[in-house]
């Protein structure tokens, strides 16, 4: 089986911050950006108001980043940026996403949008065919990275991107992130789990059954 390697070591991240949900994702992108910087990636950080379609398409056409980490609310046919305005949808031009590896931390985007992006020559798409869900502690909304309940969900989802940045194929990124999510699920069901952790179990299982990988499973960045 052929292995497709993307040579352009660059990362584009979209991370709006207009509500509690996406604000959590905004902050949980920071460890990813730190790792990419350490690995000498060119970084395109479309944060807050920069997470909008004109900025996105401009960076994609001019810079051709190899890895896209898209955070935001989603539907079966779109992913949104700041203020829930679509940043990528079914009418996206092929030249915008061609040859990219895409990880969408968005609800339902793997249902229709993901397969379309593969048909439009993206190399691989990892995302969720149903809603991506996570729970959080209400007393940690101003410090999301210290939220132990959110960590059960967001550490595994981050791991998928971390593995790709480290040069491994997307199939390994998918497997390792799923394995960590399963480990967290088992921990939440154990007798040692707190009530908050136990309450998180159904949502952890939901995410485990919702994440998919389509396209070239051997695609990687080196």
Tens digit of pLDDT for each residue in 134-176? 999 999 999 999 999 999 999 999 999 999 999 999 999 999 9
Residue 2: is it exposed, middle or buried by C-beta count within 10 angstroms (0-12/13-18/19+)? exposed
CA distance 201 to 207: 10
Residue 14: is it exposed, middle or buried by C-beta count within 10 angstroms (0-12/13-18/19+)? buried
Provide long-range contacts, Cβ within 8 A and 24+ apart, for 136-143. 136/20, 136/24, 137/196, 141/20, 141/23, 141/24
CA distance 36 to 43: 7
pLDDT attached to residue 2 = 47
Q: How many other CB atoms sit within 10 Å of the CB of residue 161? A: 25
Tens digit of pLDDT for each residue in 30-84? 999 999 999 999 999 999 999 999 999 999 999 999 999 999 999 999 999 999 9
Q: Say which residues have a Cβ less than 8 Å from residue 60's Cβ, sequence separation at least 6.
A: 12, 96, 97, 100
Q: Are 5 and 36 in contact (CB under 8 A)?
A: no
pLDDT averaged over every residue in the chain: 96
Tens digit of pLDDT for each residue in 86-145? 999 999 999 999 999 999 999 999 999 999 999 999 999 999 999 999 999 999 999 999
Q: How confident is the model at residue 1 (pLDDT cuts 50, 70, 90)?
A: very low
pLDDT attached to residue 73 = 98
Q: Residue 195 is part of a domain; what is its CATH number?
A: 3.40.50.1460
Residue 51: is it exposed, middle or buried by C-beta count within 10 angstroms (0-12/13-18/19+)? buried
83 Rama sector, left if φ>0, alpha if ψ -120 to 50, beta otherwise? left
**Structural domain boundaries, residue 210:** 5-221
Looking at the structure of the chain, the number of domains it has is 1
Tens digit of pLDDT for each residue in 167-195? 999 999 999 999 999 999 999 999 999 99
Percent of the chain with pLDDT over 90: 96
């Amino acid at each position: 089986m052929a292995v497709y390697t993307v040579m352009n070591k660059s990362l584009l991240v979209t991370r709006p911050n207009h509500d509690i949900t996406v604000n959590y994702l905004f902050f949980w992108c920071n460890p990813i950006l730190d790792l990419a910087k350490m690995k000498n990636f060119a970084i395109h950080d479309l944060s807050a108001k920069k997470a909008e379609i004109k900025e996105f398409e401009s960076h994609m056409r001019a810079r051709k980043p190899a890895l896209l980490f898209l955070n935001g609310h989603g539907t079966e046919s779109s992913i949104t940026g700041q203020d829930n305005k679509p940043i990528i949808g079914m009418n996206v031009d092929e030249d915008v996403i061609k040859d990219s590896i895409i990880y969408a931390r968005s609800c339902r985007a793997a249902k229709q949008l993901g397969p379309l992006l593969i048909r439009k020559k993206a190399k691989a798409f990892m995302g969720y065919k149903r809603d991506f869900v996570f729970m959080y502690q209400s007393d940690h909304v101003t410090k999301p990275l210290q939220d132990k309940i959110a960590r059960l969900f967001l550490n595994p989802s981050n791991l998928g991107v971390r593995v790709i940045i480290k040069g491994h194929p997307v199939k390994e990124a998918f497997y390792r992130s799923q394995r960590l999510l399963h480990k967290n699920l088992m921990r939440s069901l154990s007798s040692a789990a707190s009530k908050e952790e136990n309450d998180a179990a159904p949502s952890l299982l939901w995410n485990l059954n919702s994440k998919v990988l389509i396209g070239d499973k051997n695609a990687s960045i080196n």
